[in-house]
Amino acid sequence: MAGDITIRAAAGHEMPQVLAFIRELAVYEHLEHEVVASEADLAAALFGPRRYAEVVFACLDGVPVGFALFFHNFSTFLGKPGIYLEDLFVRPAARGHGIGKRLLAWLAATALERGCARLDWAVLDWNELALGFYRSLGAVAQDKWTTMRVSGAALERLAHG
C-alpha cells in the first residue's frame, strides 16, 4: 500500500465518519452492543460549547482509514496535564503500513507541544497484537492499577445518595 499518510483534525460535518470508526472499533473489540452514541451526541461533545474530546483522522491519499479520539487528563503528582487516548483504530485493509504508529507519534508530539507529561490509554487484555505493538513503541503496562467505573443505575444511586 503506497500512498501519502496524513493526520488531520476531524471537522464538525464528519460525525458520520467518526461514528462509523467507533462502530468498527466496537465490532473488533466484540463490544458493538455497547455503542449507543449518536452523531448528535458526538457533535455536542466534540464541537459544542465545551469540547470534551478531540478526534483526528489518519488519511491515506486524503481518505480517512483510521482515527484517534483523545482528551486531556491531569496528573496531580506531576502537576501537569496529560493526554488520554480513548480510541485508536485503523481499518484492517490499511493495517501494517505504519498508520497506527503515525497516529501515536502525532499524539506524542501533540502531548509535548501542549506541555503534557504523558500519554495514557487502555488496551483489552486479550488483544495480544495491540499489546505487542504498544510495547514495541516503549509503552509500559500499568499493572498495579485497576480501572474502576460507575455507570447507569449505580451512577444514579451514587449521585442521588
Residue numbers annotated as active site: 134
Task: Specify the 3-state DSSP secondary structure of 147.
Answer: coil
- Provide the CA 95 distance to its chain's centre, in angstroms: 17
In 10 A of CB 156, how many CB atoms?
10
